[in-house]
Copies of this chain bind each other. A is one copy, B any other.
Amino acid sequence: MAYFDNISKIKYEGAQSKDPLAFKFYNPEEQINGKSMEELMRFGVAYWHTFTEDLSDPFGVGTAQRPWDKYSDPMEKAKARVEAAFEFFEKLGVPYFCFHDYDIAPEGKNLKETLENQDIIVDMIEDHMRDSKVKLLWNTVNNFTNPMFVHGASTSNNADVFAYSAAKVKKGLEVGKRLGAESYVFWGGREGYESLLNTNMGLELDNLARFFHMANDYAKEIGFDAQFLIEPKPKEPTSHQYDFDVAHGFAFLQKYGLENVFKFNIEANHATLAGHSFEHELHYARINGMLGSVDANQGHPHLGWDTDEFPSDLYSTTLAMYEILKNGGLEKGGLNFDAKVRRTSFKPEDLFKAHIVGMDSFAIGAKVAQRLLDDKALENIIDNRYSSYNDGIGKEIVTGNTDFKKLQDYAYGIDKIEHESGNVEVIKSILNQYLVTTLAK
């Protein structure tokens, strides 16, 4: 049966279309620097926001109208969601999806039943994947919703919870292998603290590292070669999340000898909550060889929580695609829409419309970014700006052929230091010019 009867396969209609159920800019086959848009962007649908989110907020119950809610039995509903999900993926034309264990199958009355429930649904997903081109970008487990995780999961003060969390991630790795997940994500749910006053941060971080090492060992043991990813977030639900931002994660990974095991899954809204721009986090990860995947969404500039909005800011999508293109694409990662429709966008068709907005926004970003790169519009500015390191004293510095004494001798001889303008205003207007002139038809 169909859950989105009144929706047809979404088509590309071009920049002038007024149909909210058509792509205006995302044309999957269109080539960008030798890849199709589909291959370059590797869009993924987040199972949680699209199929289990009810659009409740702290001040109101859910508003979502979802056809599968006609089922009240949890397993019946879970099965209906799988049907709806594959119908959605194919009508939207998206190559990937992502999920937590509890998104796809309900918890049972104990661990055994919980894992059995998963097996039933994973069988069903596997069947659907066989008949479909849709693949699993990444999976993960939800170790934060159940009250047992109230004090954290692998950083809980309660060793039983550490064990329980391990059991669930073990299953997650097995499920990932079975469904061919390209990456596996660790978002630190409640790995952080409510208050320093009752927290042993040293022990908690050591335990987190122990957990990651055991996960890596087990993945190797079963031959699951997905890219491991940490998804940083600065706060919420805890007051301080240990994986605060990419730099916090990178410091942690290096301290515990895990920097070659993990890369980062960078979420736009998490970046901005940490006081960084989205492109900053992507750039910082990229130059450190740690850019793995992207949770494509956006925050609200005046709200202090994770709003997980569908991405529509074209500055953000352009600069994100710029980093991704500079990275040579995302390899085993993709652009996962960790984004939910607003509580006021509660109709089933809003799920399609919002994904289209996100995909079109990134498509615009990709086209503008590629044109910037083709023209070396920013690259030439930067190359020229740092040209003093290409020879003379600059070259001595970058090749390691100098020291403080030689540099002081050199400095004594400097008559006057001449600088060029940084030209920031003009560079921003170049970006604008590309933005408004690249896409009209």
Contacts and interface: CB of A to CB of B under 8 A. Distances in A.
Contacts of A404: 166-167, 169-170, 173, 214-215, 217-218
Contacts of A423: 20, 198, 345, 350, 353
Contact of A344 (B150, B287, B345, B353): B150
Interface in A242-291: 244-245, 247-248, 250-251, 254-255, 272-277, 279-280, 283-284, 287-288
A222 to B, nearest CB: 10
Nearest to A347: B421
B314 A421 contact: no
B422 A194 contact: yes
B275 A167 contact: no
B240 A432 contact: no
Given A197-B378, A343-B150, A404-B170, A302 B275 contact: yes
Contacts of A132: none
Tell me how many chains of this kind the complex includes. Answer: 4
Given A161-B417, A422-B344, A398 B354 contact: no
Contacts of A195: 422, 424, 427-428
Interface stretch (A80-88, A117-125, A407-415): A407-415
Contacts of A197: 378, 381, 424, 427-428, 431
B385 A157 contact: yes
Contacts of A429: 20, 24, 312, 356-357, 360-361
A382 B198 contact: yes
A158 B388 contact: yes
A393 interface: yes
Given A303-B239, A422-B345, A24 B433 contact: yes
Contacts of A163: 393, 397, 407-408, 410-411, 414
Interface residues of A, number: 155
A417 B162 CA distance: 11
A71 interface: no
Contacts of A394: 159, 162
Contacts of A405: 170, 218
Contact of A424 (B198, B251, B408, B435): B198
Interface in A155-192: 157-164, 166-167, 169-171, 173, 189-190
Contacts of A427: 195, 197-198
Given A304-B304, A404-B169, A440-B437, A425 B350 contact: yes
A358 B440 CA distance: 23
Contacts of A245: 247
Q: Which of A112, A215, A275 has the most CB of B within 10 A?
A: A275
A170 B342 contact: no
Given A411-B164, A432-B360, A421 B250 contact: no
A111 B424 contact: no
Given A214-B404, A344-B422, A414 B275 contact: no
A16 interface: yes
A34 interface: no
Contacts of A422: 150-151, 194-195, 198, 342, 344-345
> Which 7 A-B residue pairs are closest in the complex by CB-CB distance?
A304-B304, A159-B394, A344-B422, A440-B440, A167-B411, A166-B407, A251-B251
Given A20-B429, A239-B303, A247-B247, 12 more contacts: A16-B437, A57-B237, A58-B306, A60-B147, A160-B411, A166-B404, A194-B343, A195-B422, A210-B397, A239-B302, A244-B247, A247-B251
